[in-house]
Amino acid sequence: MNISLIGTGLMGQALSEHLLAEDQQLTIFNRNADKTSQLQQQGAEIAASAQDAINASEFCLLMLSDAEAINAVLASVPAQTFKNKTIIQMGTIAPNESRSIAKHIQDNDGHYLECPVLGSLPEARTGTLILMAGGSDEDYQAALPLLKLIGKDPQHIGSIGQGSTVKLAMNQLIAGLTSSFALSLALVEKEGIEVEQFMKIVRDSALYAPTFDKKLDRMIERDFSNPNFPTKHLAKDTKLFLAVAEQLGLETCALEGIDELLGKTLEQGLENTDYSALYSGVSKPDL
C-alpha cells in the first residue's frame, strides 16, 4: 500500500515507524524537516512539500495538532491536488472544524475521512490504536485496509463530525478520570495513608479504571517526563470540548474546574510533560 503522512510529532513519528515496520511504502512531510531524518533512515521517502506528499499516494494521513495547523498545511496545497485523493484526518478537532475541512477537500473532487485515534505511543507503534471514523460508507470502506493496519477494530461512527465528537467525549473522560484520581491520591498522601492500601481498595471497587495504575508511579514520583500525551494537548482538547458543549447547551461547570486546574498545571511550566502532571496542579511539592 502506498501511503503518505503529514505531521511527524510524537504520534506521527510513532505511527510512521509502525507503517514502515509493516513494509508499507510511506512518504512523509513535516514543516520542520529535522523531525524526518530518523524516519528517512528507516526507509521513508521525504517529500519537499505537502503537495508532493499528497501526490505521492492515494491516501494521505494528517497527524497534526489542531485545525489551525491542518488549515495552514492544506492552504499551501493547490486545489487540483486533492482530486481523487483521500485525506484522512486523525487529530482531535471540533466537529464543525472537521466539516469545514471536508467541504474544502470535497469541493475540489477529493475524498475526506475523519478518523481520530484513542491511545498513545505504544499503541501507535503496535497498530492497536482505537479508531473512530466519520464520513461516507464508501470512503470508509475504501480506507478500511489502511485503517486495519493502524487499529485492529476500526469503528465507523457515522457522518463527518460524529467521529470527532466521540473523540472529544473520550478525551473529556481522560481529563475527568485523571484529575479526579490525582485529587484523591493527593488527599491520601497528605494524610500519610499507605498508597498501596488505598490502591487495593480502589482496584477492588467498581470505581477502578486501568488508567489509575498507568499514571500512579508517575504521580507518586512526580516524574512526568517522556510524555505519551502532553499536558498542553489535553488542555487544548478540554477547551475544544467546552466550546462544543456550550454550543449544544450542555452544563459544563465540572469540566470548567478541570480546565482551570490544567491552566494551573501549565503555569508550572509542565505543558510538554505527560498529562499525569495534573497531580502537580493539585499537590505542589511545597504545600
Q: Are residues 89 and 194 in the same domain?
A: no
187 and 113 share one domain:
no
Residue 58: how many CB atoms within 10 A of its CB? 16
Residues in the chain: 287
Pick from 258, 287, 253: which is nearest to 275 by CA?
Answer: 258
Given 159, 187, 219, which residue is the final one in a domain? 159
* 267 and 215 share one domain: yes
**Distance in angstroms (rounded) separating the CA atoms of residues 106 and 139:** 12
What pLDDT score was predicted for residue 285? 60
Closest by Cα among 238, 230, 106 to 172:
238
Whether 277 and 141 share a structural domain: no
Mean pLDDT by 10 residues, the chain (287 residues): 94 96 96 87 95 96 95 96 97 97 98 96 96 98 97 96 98 98 97 98 98 97 95 97 97 98 97 98 72
Q: Residue 142's domain is classified under what CATH number?
A: 3.40.50.720
**Statement to judge: residues 265 and 152 lie in one domain:** no
Q: What is d(CA 203, CA 268) in angstroms, rounded to the nearest whole number?
A: 31
Q: Among 159, 175, 203, which residue terminates a domain?
A: 159
Q: Which of 138, 159, 180 is the last residue of a domain?
A: 159
- Residues 239, 191 within the same domain: yes
List, for residues 188-197, the tens digit of each pLDDT value.
999 999 999 9
Angstrom distance (rounded) from CA 152 to CA 1: 17
Q: Is 19 within the bounds of a domain?
A: yes
Confirm whether 9 is domain-assigned.
yes
Name the one residue in this structure whose C-alpha cell is 465540572. Answer: 254
Query: pTM (2 decimals)?
Result: 0.93
Supply the pLDDT for residue 269.
Answer: 97
- In this structure, the answer to whether residues 19 and 87 fall within a common structural domain is yes
Number of folded domains in the chain?
2
Helix axes 162-190, 210-221, angle to 10 degrees: 50
Residues 58 and 151 placed together within one structural domain of the fold? yes
How far apart are the C-alpha atoms of 165 and 92, rounded to whole Å?
9
Q: Are residues 106 and 152 in the same domain?
A: yes
Residues 175 and 182: beta-carbon distance below 8 Å: no
Q: What span, in angstroms and rounded, lies between the C-alpha atoms of 111 and 12?
A: 21
Q: What is the number of other CB atoms lying within 10 angstroms of the CB of residue 239? A: 14
Q: What is the pLDDT of residue 287?
A: 42
- Containing structural domain, residue 30: 2-159
Residue 287 located in a structural domain: no
Grid-cell match 452544563, residue found: 251
List the beta bridge partners of residue 252.
none
Q: What is the pLDDT of residues 166-216, one digit of tens each?
A: 999 999 999 999 999 999 999 999 999 999 999 999 999 999 999 999 999
Q: DSSP alpha helices (H): ranges in 34-85?
A: 37-41, 50-55, 67-75
